Structure 1
Amino acid sequence: MIESLINPADPPERQMEKLLTIAQVLMRRVESDTDDNGAAYAQFQRAAMLEDQVRDRTRDLERALDLLNDSNARLAAATRSAEAARQNLANAIETVQEGFALFDAGDVLVLCNSRFGMHMEDIRDDLRPGLTFDAYVNRVSRSRFLELPDRESPEHWAIRRKRRHQDRHVIFNVRMIWDRWVQVSEHRTADGGTVILQTDVTDIIRSERQERGKLLDDQARMIRATLDHINQGVSIFDADARLVGWNARLGQLLAIPVARFRVGASFDHLLQRFHEEITLSDGMTDARLEAWVNAVAGRSPLSFEVRRGDDLILAVFAQGMPDGGFVMSFTDVTTERAAIHALSRANETLEARVMDRTLELEDALAHAERANASRSRFVAAASHDLLQPLSAAKLFIASIGGEGVPPEAVEALEKAQNALVSVEGILDALLDISKLESGRAAVSVGQVALRPILAQLAAEFTAIAAAKGLRLTVRLSEAVVMTDPSYLRRILQNLIGNAIHYTAQGRVVVAARKRGGMTRLEVWDTGPGIPEEEQDNIFKEFHRLNARASASEGMGLGLAIVERACALLGHPLGLSSRLGRGTCFMLQLPSVTTADALPVPAPAVTRPRMRLQGKIGFLVENDPDLCRAMGLLLEKWGLSVLDADSGEAALALIDELGILPDFFLVDYQLGGGMTGVDFIRTLRALHGDVPTRLITANRSVQVQALAQAEGVEVLMKPMDARALEAFLRDLP
């Protein structure tokens, strides 16, 4: 009821007035009401409660009013502060010496100072907040104070200016009339707006221009001083072929009066002097020179010589310049040409002397080659003649061994056999050196599997290393390389034998390592090492470290053969050594990929040893001592032996006996008209395929090729009893 009497929209004072009126009325009613039911008291209680509620509501309204007043006060203070800040910002940018403008993210002008648009009085009134950037640029492009570049319209300038506006940071200079310049710096703000600063740089540009002019003047003076002090005559012409510069040396060289040298003189005017005393040379003509001078563009440098009189020779060099002009320089080369002429005469004399000397050297070389060939033939012949008795001696010694020989005789026989082996090695080395030096060594390079060669060398040298107390390790490899198998085996034999010989204790290791497309064969030892100053000398003939050259210890030919054989095959040879630690020799061979490698033939199956008793052998040998030695050895092994000194005699003896022997040992050089190869060919034609071996001391490639063509294996002299025994063991 009470709430309905009070309108909440009334001000608090009006509500308070109504409440007091209601309270007074209720109080009077309570005082006048005296019924016994206590209704008046109850109404009094309700009035008191209403009064408390009115009081609380009044306090809440008063607090709300206080808060509203406080907020209004603070808002007013903030507004005053913002206005003050804006005014301070305006004052601050106004104090800046540069023109300042701020465009928002929509490219609309927010504020600017009075210097913005400097030197453009006709657009000042348009620079107000709300102006778009495009409108600003359009007004600037049409300002009468803007000096546009040559051949550029206001529209084109405005397009270029707006295109630059797309970058985040832009700095460029704008030229105004009356030679004034403004630098414009444009930067993007974080919210996408744009700040533009305009700075008057007129004084800076004028100062730079002045300094540049001084620099050009200094450079011109330096150029003039240089031209006046160089030894060449120089002339400079503009694009119209008119003289613009020269030096005093030019007049001296051309003997042209100073009156003719004036700025603006045409080249044709100066060319007239050429016709008076100067003669063109090097194929140069007046027409060609004038065509070069009158060329509009594309002048290539021009060089020629001229003569003045009979004594002076001038070298002329002409070159175009970027502005269409050209420069011509004249150099006195009289002394140089005279020196060249004298040198030419001297060269002719020298060439004649060289020709005479060359002919003498050719004669000497031919004589040396003939002598070398003779020496090689002598070495080969001498080696062959030595190998014959040496082979006989080895076979005689091999036939002596057996039961009943005293121990001291056995020891003497072993020493004699070892001495013969040493002599055999020296003869082999001499033959190898002879072939390599004479150039008669022929190689047959092909795919070679390393495993069989390394396995054979391991079997050959293991016992020799063990006899010296050394451990030989040969790491077998499945690699396939391009080389000559005979020479490769010879190279490795020499390297391994050399390592065992010089190593007193420890081990020798032979290994193959793949490096890219190459396979590197290495021979390591734990010997004394080779001093660095001796590493080149050890490849020389008869050079041995800390040892004398003797037949028993070798003649120092092994490494010489290795170097020459590697050079012949094209296999790089290397050496690494540390004193007291050992040495490693290495050679590189081209590898064959698995896809290109030929299949490696399976190793031959060793036949079990068979008894030799009852078998008949035929020796075709014209050396009686060697024939006798081989006969004794074969008879010792239980064989019956026939012999003949020629192929013809052997064939006749076979026909006479009517018995075909079980095998033939045939010397290559026989008495009569047949060679060993001829005899074997005839024998097979008459009696079929008979086990045969060709015996020879001739190590030439031709003999090897003949034997290979007939399918005959060769036993080299001096004969090795073990090789002969291996042949006989495999007889059917």
Structure 2
Amino acid sequence: MLTSLINDADSLERQNEKLRKITEALMRRVEQSTDDSGAAYAQFQRAAMLEEVVRDRTRELERTLELLNVSNAKLASANAEAEEARANLANAIETVQEGFALFDAEERLVMCNSRFGKHMRDIYHLFRPGLAFADYVRLVSRSPYLSLPDGETPENWAAQRMLRHRDNHVVFNARMAGSRWLQVSEHRTPDGGTVVLQTDVTDIMRLERQERERLLDDQDKLIRATLEHLNQGVCIFDRQGRLLGWNRRAGELLSIPINRFHLGAFFGTLYDRIRSELRFIDHADERSIEDWVAHSTRRVPLSFEIGIGSRTLAVFAQQMPNEGFVMSFTDITSERDAIRAVNEVNETLERRVAERTLELQDALRVAERANASKSRFVAAASHDLLQPLSAAKLYVASLENDVHSPELAERLSKASSALASVENILGALLDISKLDSGRTELNVGAVSLGVMLDQLRDELQPMAERKGLRFRMVPTRAFAQSDATYLRRILQNLLSNAIRYTQTGKVLVGARRTARTLRVEIWDTGPGIPDNQQDRVFDEFHRLDAASSAEDLGLGLAIVERACRLLGHPLRLRSEVGKGTVFSVELPLAAPDGLPKPDDSGSATGIGSLHNRIVLLIENDDNLRNAITLTLEGWGIDALPCAGLEEAETLLDEIDIAPDAILADYQLDHGTFGTDAIQRLKDRYGPLPSCVITANRAPDLQQTCDRIGAALLHKPLNLADLRRFLTQAVA
């Protein structure tokens, strides 16, 4: 019952008050009770217990009140400290020389100093705590004290400002009324708030502008000095065709008095001044120039030649980024005079060459008739002599078993050997006559080089072993495109010749693959061939050492040379006296089983235009460099002539353009080579078409050019070959 009368949720004062009332009521009932059974005493006992509870609750209430008083004292102290800290913070941000504002994580203004927004007097009084950040941006965007860029609306500015507000750090400059500038920066606080700082940077912007104007003025003086030192005439026009800059050389080349050039003069005015004296030399005309100037957008570079008086000028016009344009004028009178002189000389030479060609053709026809008659005679005579010679050999062979005298047997052997030599001579003469006649039938197809070399090894190995030579063939599975009969005769003669002339050492045969060909090489350790004899070894009946090669008739290499020429197989010879000789025959690769040889479907065989192509020329000889440059320009090529690699790299860095092709002399100054220059430029710009020009005809130079992927042209330079290379390079 007592528990129901007292609610634990009541305060201690309320509970004590209820207990007191209960105690008083119980005491009254005890005093008024007349029950003799002892109920009054029980009630008194309960009242005493209740009084004890009241005293305990009272003591607890007193302790709670004491704690509450202590808490109130601490709270009052904390409030005082907070107010002091807030006052200190307000004083601190007020001393900041910049505008300062703090927004909380809810994008509401917490506090700001008096300098924040002071440049906007119309909205300055609205910056109060509780202002939303979006409202702050909207007020600033509509303030007349904010100078917006041309074409910018307040709504667009506010949208861009809110977009940038998403970043953690924002810094930008805002132009204010009165040519003042504010730098506004935003930074995020750890709790997600935003600090905005406004710094007046007007003085800094003015200093930067003054410095920029000074630099522009210095740059203008530098450009003016540069223009005046150019050997070209230069005129610069704006998008309306008004003159912005020029140099004195332009007036000299165009025959216009310098006082006619003034800032703002129109192109048409200057053009009318020279119209009557102007003549166009190439494809350009008066209408095309006027149309080009009239189109202020997307002008393509224009180059043409004009004549004014006795001068010939090369004109180049190009649009600038601001839609203006610049024209340059170069005096090329001397170059054109030189080209005309060269053309006249060429015409004279061509006439002489034509006359001489007719004479040579007549002589050639006479020689061909004589050679054909000689070949027919040799073929007929050789064929007629071979039959009785074969009969004589049979008769001599039949006597070998009947002769028992050693002296007679030796004579018979010598006679048989002599007849065999005569037979070989006639056979060789017959082969030569067939090759010289030009009527030889060829059966060109895929030939297994490995099978053919194995057959020749089996045939010639005993001959090498009898002389004590090491005879080795490197195995190969390659197929060559050739005539099997003549190819076997070529390799057989070269191998027989190597074994015959090598007294000690070895003979080595192998095949090397290149990009499109197969090169068969025969190495020996023989006596070698002197330089003055290397061209003569292919003549008929020519022997280097008759004593050491008595069985050699001197016709084997002559047959090899003619057969290689007939088949189109390049034949090369390298030799060093005392060390040995290397003969090599270059054969086109073929697919096995008679399949066609791989074609160059990916190669550039089409004809491309040379006009406006960029060709880098590296030639250390001034006269030859100038002559080639004039020739290239005559074909419409933009030539970049350089004396060496260093000058070429500097020029390419300045124009920042990779050339379409490279022409390089092989032997340059300071011990450098054109092949090294080409390789260095290819490493830098990629696989550029390139060509080496040289008077050096060493066989290993072709290998070097093949290794770096460059063509090879020999001096004196054949212009047809040069043009063919450039046409294929740009295709």
The normalised TM-score by structure 1 is 0.55
Structure 2 CA distance, aligned partners of 1:111 and 1:501?
111
Report the residue type matching 1:148 in the other structure: L
Instruction: State the match for 1:216 in structure 2.
Output: 216
Work out whether residues 482 and 590 of structure 1, in 8 Å CA contact, stay in contact via their aligned partners in 2: yes
Shift of 1:422: 4.4
Report the residue type matching 2:552 in the other structure: G
Deviations 1:674-719 (Å, cap 9, x if unpaired)?
A: xxxxxxxxxxxxxxxxxxxxxxxxxxxxxxxxxxxxxxxxxxxxxx
Shift of 1:494: 2.4
The residue correspondences of 1:106-121 to structure 2 (distance < 5 A) are none
Report the residue type matching 2:217 in the other structure: D
Work out whether residues 504 and 526 of structure 2, in 8 Å CA contact, stay in contact via their aligned partners in 1: no
Report the residue type matching 2:397 in the other structure: A
Instruction: State the match for 2:155 in structure 1.
Output: 155
Shift of 1:406: 3.0
Instruction: State the match for 2:146 in structure 1.
Output: 146
Q: 1:169 to 1:395 in 2, by over 3 A?
A: farther
The residue correspondences of 1:356-435 to structure 2 (distance < 5 A) are 356-381=355-380, 383-384=382-383, 387-402=386-401, 404-433=403-432, 435=434
Report the residue type matching 1:212 in the other structure: R
Structure 1 CA distance, aligned partners of 2:439 and 2:166?
83
Deviations 1:292-337 (Å, cap 9, x if unpaired)?
A: 55445455536453545xx566666655555455555566666666
Shift of 1:187: 7.1
Report the residue type matching 2:358 in the other structure: L
Matched, 1:179 2:179: yes
Say which one has the larger Rg. Answer: 1
Work out whether residues 312 and 332 of structure 1, in 8 Å CA contact, stay in contact via their aligned partners in 2: yes
Deviations 1:187-230 (Å, cap 9, x if unpaired)?
A: 78999887777665544443333233223323333444455555
Report the residue type matching 1:554 in the other structure: D
Instruction: State the match for 2:443 in structure 1.
Output: 444
Report the residue type matching 1:487 in the other structure: Y
The residue correspondences of 1:545-564 to structure 2 (distance < 5 A) are 547-548=545-546, 552-554=550-552, 558-559=556-557, 561-562=559-560
Deviations 1:506-540 (Å, cap 9, x if unpaired)?
A: 65565678889877756566x35869979976974
Instruction: State the match for 1:354 in structure 2.
Output: 353
Instruction: State the match for 2:591 in structure 1.
Output: 592
User: 3-state DSSP class of the match of 2:352?
Assistant: helix
Report the residue type matching 1:221 in the other structure: K
Structure 1 CA distance, aligned partners of 2:264 and 2:362?
71
Instruction: State the match for 1:642 in structure 2.
Output: none
Shift of 1:151: 0.6
Structure 2 CA distance, aligned partners of 1:78 and 1:390?
139
Report the residue type matching 2:152 in the other structure: E
Matched, 1:456 2:455: yes
Structure 2 CA distance, aligned partners of 1:254 and 1:514?
61
Structure 2 CA distance, aligned partners of 1:145 and 1:416?
127
Deviations 1:626-653 (Å, cap 9, x if unpaired)?
A: xxxxxxxxxxxxxxxxxxxxxxxxxxxx
Q: 1:456 to 1:238 in 2, by over 3 A?
A: closer
Matched, 1:484 2:508: no
Report the residue type matching 1:151 in the other structure: G
Work out whether residues 104 and 194 of structure 1, in 8 Å CA contact, stay in contact via their aligned partners in 2: yes
Q: 1:591 to 1:184 in 2, by over 3 A?
A: farther
Identical-pair percentage = 55
Work out whether residues 98 and 200 of structure 2, in 8 Å CA contact, stay in contact via their aligned partners in 1: yes
User: 3-state DSSP class of the match of 1:483?
Assistant: strand
Work out whether residues 501 and 549 of structure 2, in 8 Å CA contact, stay in contact via their aligned partners in 1: no
Work out whether residues 499 and 508 of structure 1, in 8 Å CA contact, stay in contact via their aligned partners in 2: yes
Structure 2 CA distance, aligned partners of 1:278 and 1:346?
31
Instruction: State the match for 2:306 in structure 1.
Output: 305
Work out whether residues 102 and 112 of structure 1, in 8 Å CA contact, stay in contact via their aligned partners in 2: yes
User: 3-state DSSP class of the match of 1:405?
Assistant: coil
Work out whether residues 495 and 523 of structure 1, in 8 Å CA contact, stay in contact via their aligned partners in 2: yes
User: 3-state DSSP class of the match of 1:500?
Assistant: helix
Structure 2 CA distance, aligned partners of 1:124 and 1:530?
105
Query: Unpaired runs of 5+ in structure 1?
Result: 1-73, 599-732
Structure 1 CA distance, aligned partners of 2:402 and 2:497?
35
The normalised TM-score by structure 2 is 0.55
Q: Which moved more, 1:140-149 or 1:532-541?
A: 532-541
Report the residue type matching 1:153 in the other structure: T
Work out whether residues 446 and 593 of structure 2, in 8 Å CA contact, stay in contact via their aligned partners in 1: no
Q: 1:365 to 1:295 in 2, by over 3 A?
A: same
Shift of 1:180: 3.7
Cα root mean square deviation, aligned:
6.1
User: 3-state DSSP class of the match of 1:151?
Assistant: coil
Deviations 1:602-644 (Å, cap 9, x if unpaired)?
A: xxxxxxxxxxxxxxxxxxxxxxxxxxxxxxxxxxxxxxxxxxx
Deviations 1:572-630 (Å, cap 9, x if unpaired)?
A: 667899986996857555242579599xxxxxxxxxxxxxxxxxxxxxxxxxxxxxxxx
User: 3-state DSSP class of the match of 1:152?
Assistant: coil
Q: 1:316 to 1:508 in 2, by over 3 A?
A: closer
Shift of 1:173: 4.0
User: 3-state DSSP class of the match of 1:498?
Assistant: helix
Work out whether residues 104 and 192 of structure 2, in 8 Å CA contact, stay in contact via their aligned partners in 1: yes
Q: 1:366 to 1:83 in 2, by over 3 A?
A: farther
Instruction: State the match for 2:10 in structure 1.
Output: none
Instruction: State the match for 2:713 in structure 1.
Output: none
User: 3-state DSSP class of the match of 1:547?
Assistant: coil
Report the residue type matching 2:550 in the other structure: S
Q: 1:184 to 1:517 in 2, by over 3 A?
A: farther
Shift of 1:266: 4.8
Query: Unpaired runs of 5+ in structure 2?
Result: 1-73, 598-731
Q: Which moved more, 1:285-294 or 1:108-117?
A: 108-117
Structure 1 CA distance, aligned partners of 2:189 and 2:432?
89
User: 3-state DSSP class of the match of 1:447?
Assistant: strand
Work out whether residues 500 and 549 of structure 2, in 8 Å CA contact, stay in contact via their aligned partners in 1: no
Work out whether residues 241 and 293 of structure 1, in 8 Å CA contact, stay in contact via their aligned partners in 2: yes
Instruction: State the match for 1:714 in structure 2.
Output: none
Q: 1:152 to 1:259 in 2, by over 3 A?
A: same
Structure 1 CA distance, aligned partners of 2:85 and 2:575?
88
Shift of 1:486: 0.5
Report the residue type matching 1:219 in the other structure: Q
Instruction: State the match for 2:64 in structure 1.
Output: none
Report the residue type matching 1:484 in the other structure: D
Report the residue type matching 1:443 in the other structure: L
Between the two proteins, the alignment pairs up a number of residues equal to: 545
Work out whether residues 573 and 581 of structure 2, in 8 Å CA contact, stay in contact via their aligned partners in 1: no
User: 3-state DSSP class of the match of 1:446?
Assistant: strand
The residue correspondences of 1:658-673 to structure 2 (distance < 5 A) are none
Deviations 1:447-466 (Å, cap 9, x if unpaired)?
A: 33456534532332232223
Report the residue type matching 2:306 in the other structure: E
Work out whether residues 99 and 199 of structure 1, in 8 Å CA contact, stay in contact via their aligned partners in 2: yes
Instruction: State the match for 2:207 in structure 1.
Output: 207
Deviations 1:533-567 (Å, cap 9, x if unpaired)?
A: 79976974479997348862525554564465455
Shift of 1:493: 1.2
Q: 1:173 to 1:531 in 2, by over 3 A?
A: farther
Q: 1:594 to 1:273 in 2, by over 3 A?
A: closer
Instruction: State the match for 1:695 in structure 2.
Output: none
Q: 1:427 to 1:294 in 2, by over 3 A?
A: same
Report the residue type matching 1:305 in the other structure: I
